[in-house]
Chains A and B, each alone.
Chain A
Amino acid sequence: MAELRRQPLTPRRLGIVVALVMSMMLTLFARLYYVQLIDPHKPVQSAHLLHDGVIVVPAPRGLIVDARGRTLVANTSAQVITVDRDLLQQRADGGKGVLDRLAALLGRSPALLGKQITPCSPKVPAPCWTGEPFQPVPVAMNAPTSTVLAISEHREAFPGVAVQTVTLPSYPYGTLASHVLGYTSEITAADKARNTQLSDADTIGVSGLEQQYDALLRGVDGRQIVELNPQGLTVRAGGSTPAKQGDTLVTSIDLDLQKLAEQSLAQQLRDSRAAGKPATGGAVLVMNPNTGRILAAASSPTYDPSLFVGGISNADYRTLTDPAAGTPLLDRAIAGEYAPGSTFKLITSSSLVMHHEINTHDTYPCPGSVTIDGRVKTNYDSEVLGDITLRDALGYSCDTFFYRPTADEYYRDQTRIDNGKSAHEYLQRMAAAYGVGRAPGVDLPAGEQASGSYADRETRLARWRTDRAAYCAAARAGYRSVADTAQRAYLTELAKENCTDGWRYRAGDNADMSIGQGETTMSPLQLAIAYSALLNGGRIWEPTLGWAVVDGNGDVVQKIRPKVRNHVPVSQRLFDYITKSLDFSRGWAVSGAFAYIGSKYQNRLGGKTGTAEVFGRKDTSWLVSWGPTHKRHGHTRADFVIVGMVEQAGTGATAAGPMLKRIWDGIFGADGKPIIPGSRPERRLPRIDPQVKVAGR
């Protein structure tokens, strides 16, 4: 002991530390070696860490039906072939055999098919699967029956491949009313950002009624829960909730009337073209002036909404929006803006008479031409009618009759301005009261309804302030790209004038407006609304296409009612005067009546033609007509207002007249039974069967 103590203690003790440290390190290494290489029961990720995945079962969209319950937009079931990646990967060959066989059946390369079912990630570029990794991947939409049968009959050859039935929107009448019905599309990332409830499997309405009533039509998606292990492989199915189909939208569209309007429009375009006119497009709008409901809205050229089902190709979409192809996607009846021409004289007459600038019993001149501020303005074909009353001015559609009083109104306003007062601008205010310059508030998306326009002092000045630099630049440059020298000179002159005097609102502008020319534009729907006011005592409707929303039990959950936006400040006496002036019973004295003289129902119609001049194009042909007229409390009433418009087709009487005559023939049953029972708009909602299957009455 004594010997030991005399030895230095520390080196021995240091030895203890060395031994300890080294044994610790060896222990660790041995344990590591065991855990990684020897352990016969290596731990694996346990089932406690399962999480749920949700497979969305998209709800079938609700139907859209017409005023008598006939289906306009239905659902069809389509066979979709899906591939379950989990099941494929669990196979010995990693699913290669199945993919090869399936690719051969679908007529695509196995490599492409393999890419299509691989979930997208930063490392996996398109084509790839954008959905959840655990969700079966659809590889063929709307698969042909032969393919479906081949897979169903040889299930053993296609493990992991399934055939599912999905619903897709279908259009039993093809292109019928496609502009107002709208179309649907697959969900985009932007849609999902706006509404987190949406899932990739959903279909969303992106235009027309499909968009406007999307929330009601979409329904509630069903959900199938699957349990997933941490690697994302499905372990077992959990609970599920079934999908709930969207509600049915009943519209005020009448299928037969809509069909007839479209057919007549198409025929008119053919006839006008045969007569040598470009007739690039047209529209028909039928509205009930007493309820504000739209009964038909036709626009040509049209498009097939089924092109959008399952995704539209870029080439197809370009064609639908190409001006050279007539912009088929544009709804000319509601979103198109055109110079209304003489049909605007309803508004001009209202303004002039109500502000005592003319009266209904005196006569005023209708010369062949009028000179305003040194510019000669002529009648159509320089017709000379002598001194006439407003009745004949409307009936024969004299332009010069209206030039003088509207120019005088302008001068009076200028005098007021010179005296430091503000201009009355009676004509503009009356136009605004009839709804010009403001979206009509129809139940369609905001971008799909035209506001129309007119010029006044304020807007002219504001526009000149913003556009002056562009006008002046254009005047200097001189439109070199325009080939036609006359047109080039005109445009250059116009730009020069705009550059220096573009802010000036002139007497000629007011005169132009009085006959619906110049900067005055309206949509066919806006004209229908304005003329409805003529026939309903002055109510300006915010019209509707939707009528009611009916749920899966057949119960009405929502009634859609047009609202009265305002009353035009026009006396009933003047309305009576105008309807009498434009009654087709006056025969040759009413320009629009030409096509109807001699027909059985000539005395039950009224109408106003329009022939609008458009710079660089042929005239727009208009006819606004109403009927069947009847008297109530001594005032003229009608059940339908029909507006017809044909682009670049000549006078109102030559194109729009015959076009609407075919529709009136149908309504009155000139060649047999009326297409609308009783020749009156449907008043009662159709009964919608609880099974969602729709039955006509």
Chain B
Amino acid sequence: MTLLARDPRAPFVLTPPVLPLERRNRGYDVLLSLVALALALTGALLVWAATRDASGQSFLWRHLLNVVIATVLMVGAARLDARLLRLFGPVVYLLSLFGLLLVLAAGTRVNGAKAWLHLGGGFELQPSEFMKLGLIVGMAVLFSRHDQDEDLPPRTRDVLLALGLIAVPLGLIMLQPDLGSAMVLGCAVFGVLVVAGVRARWTVGLLILGVLGSVLAVKGGVLHAYQLDRFKSFMDPSVDPQGAAYNVNQAHIAIAAGGLFGTGLFHGPQTNGGFVPEQQTDFIFSVAGEELGLVGAGLIIALFAVLCWRGLRIAREADHAGRLVAVGVVCWFGFQAFQNIGMNLGLTPVTGVPLPFVSYGGSSMFAQGLAIGLLQAVRRRALD
């Protein structure tokens, strides 16, 4: 019992008058969250521009509501501690798996894919978005058990277990069929496997298997006709300009019209004319391309680059499990952004994935908010 305010045995140190940035922010990466928020708010403007003529401000307000909910989820996820995080992965994985099964049984079909769950009251849920999160954390937990030496490659048993964990949801998502989500999921998991130190024969083998699998899928009739059409039109956009390639062509026209500075927000004829279907979701980038030009659209790409850089910085400084989570999230965001912007630019085939943070859509926004929160938690060394 002491009456002194300070423990007299403690070494005397001068408290620095200004705390280092990291201490002040209790270990949060403010820039990371700000970049995500900037993307989401840019998205709000672009969604508004795309839907203003047909729906007024309703999409704008719903997008902003999604952003607010996602922010709350982010803050919540950032405050998770190690125990809860280790629980978080399996729980989200199992819940999402249940959701995926439910979708196959009673889902709503939008644009050919049965990927949505009606919750009533106009709310819909897309379990595959949350599965990305669940799988990434689940794998991180799997590869960072205490009995493992993190400097040695994971054991074959663990790798096979991981592949099993991946195969089930991947198969379910392919059944919807939602090729885009499956590819993003595969890519994120592949990133985790690579960084987890899985032997090269596994990773290279998986790559070869993936390529062979897609060739077989194209040739063997596993894919649906519309998916094949999308691939064909990707190879040659002039095949069917009114059909499969229509979206891509219209988006391409919009972006090409943008030039350096764009036509100005709300002043894109292609956007205002409603020529690009699904413009507020999968083709939101075409609004930026047309109305904000190279400067604005380039800025969006730059923001994604910064987002990935901050994520990878967190990965470099994190422990093994945290690193796996961070890499998984970065691979997810990076590949999904590449896939989405790529299809807007005619660089990748059309698969229905939203542009993270920017596209209109509740489930994806919430999952992404949670993911940013997880990165912040990793940064706080919550997994130590």
- Residues of chain A whose beta carbon lies under 8 Å from any beta carbon of chain B: 8-11, 13-14, 16-18, 20-22, 24-25, 27-29, 31-33, 35-37, 39, 42-46, 48-49, 230-231
Contacts and interface: CB of A to CB of B under 8 A. Distances in A.
B341 A10 contact: no
Q: Which 10 pairs, one residue from A and one from B, show the smallest C-beta to C-beta distance? A: A24-B338, A21-B334, A9-B197, A25-B305, A42-B256, A21-B308, A31-B345, A36-B294, A43-B253, A13-B195
Contacts of A28: 301, 337-338, 341-342, 345, 347
B195 A21 contact: no
A39 B301 contact: no
The bracket for how many chain B residues form the interface is 35 or more
Interface string B164-203: 0000000000000000000000000001001111000000
B323 interface: yes
A189 to B, nearest CB: 22
B249 interface: yes
A35 B301 contact: no
Given A10-B150, A17-B315, 17 more contacts: A10-B196, A10-B323, A17-B194, A17-B312, A17-B331, A18-B312, A25-B337, A27-B342, A28-B341, A29-B298, A35-B255, A36-B255, A36-B256, A36-B259, A36-B297, A37-B260, A48-B241
Given A28-B342, A37-B294, A17 B327 contact: yes
Given A31-B345, A32-B345, A45-B253, A17 B195 contact: yes
Contacts of B269: 231
Contacts of B15: none
A25 B289 contact: no
A12 to B, nearest CB: 9
A16 B204 CA distance: 14
A36 B289 contact: yes
Interface string B38-64: 000000000000000000000000000
Contact of B253 (A11, A13, A44): A44
Contacts of B342: 27-28, 31
A306 to B, nearest CB: 44
A45 B271 CA distance: 12
Interface string B322-346: 0100010011001101100110011
B82 to A, nearest CB: 20
Interface string B250-266: 00110111111000000
B267 interface: no
B244 to A, nearest CB: 14
Contacts of B331: 17, 21
Contacts of B258: 36
B304 interface: yes
Contacts of B316: 11, 14
B90 interface: no
A26 to B, nearest CB: 8
A90 B320 CA distance: 66
B259 A37 contact: yes
Contacts of B338: 24-25, 27-28
Contact of B327 (A14, A35, A46): A14
Nearest to A231: B269
Interface of B: 150-151, 153, 191, 194-197, 241-242, 249, 252-253, 255-260, 269-270, 273, 275, 289, 293-294, 297-298, 301-302, 304-305, 308, 312, 315-316, 320, 323, 327, 330-331, 334-335, 337-338, 341-342, 345-347
A31 B331 CA distance: 20
Contacts of B255: 32, 35-36
Given A9-B197, A35-B345, A14 B323 contact: yes
B308 A25 contact: yes
Contacts of B293: 36
A36 B294 CA distance: 7
Given A9-B153, A14-B312, A21-B331, A32 B242 contact: no
Contacts of B242: 48
30 contacts: A10-B150, A11-B316, A13-B194, A13-B197, A17-B195, A17-B315, A20-B334, A21-B305, A21-B331, A24-B337, A25-B301, A25-B304, A25-B305, A25-B308, A25-B338, A27-B338, A32-B255, A32-B341, A33-B298, A35-B255, A35-B289, A35-B345, A36-B255, A36-B258, A36-B294, A37-B259, A37-B294, A49-B275, A230-B273, A231-B269
A313 B335 CA distance: 68
Nearest to A232: B273
A45 B194 contact: no
Contacts of B334: 20-21, 24-25
A28 B339 CA distance: 10
Given A36-B260, A231-B269, A14 B345 contact: no
A20 B203 CA distance: 15
Contact of B151 (A9, A18, A25): A9
Contact of A46 (B196, B241, B320): B241
B320 A10 contact: yes
A45 B297 CA distance: 21
Nearest to A230: B273
Most buried by A among B197, B241, B273, B345: B345
A231 to B, nearest CB: 7
A32 B312 contact: no
Contact of B301 (A10, A20, A32, A37): A32
A35 B191 contact: no
A17 B335 CA distance: 11
Given A17-B330, A44-B253, A33 B294 contact: yes
Contacts of A21: 305, 308, 312, 330-331, 334
B313 to A, nearest CB: 10
Nearest to A39: B256
Nearest to A31: B345
A116 B257 CA distance: 31
A45 B275 CA distance: 9
B275 A27 contact: no
B21 to A, nearest CB: 23
Contacts of B259: 36-37
Nearest to B335: A24
A9 B150 CA distance: 9
B191 A32 contact: no
A42 to B, nearest CB: 4
A48 B297 CA distance: 28
Contacts of A43: 249, 252-253, 256
Nearest to A22: B305
Nearest to B250: A45
A519 to B, nearest CB: 57
Contacts of A231: 269
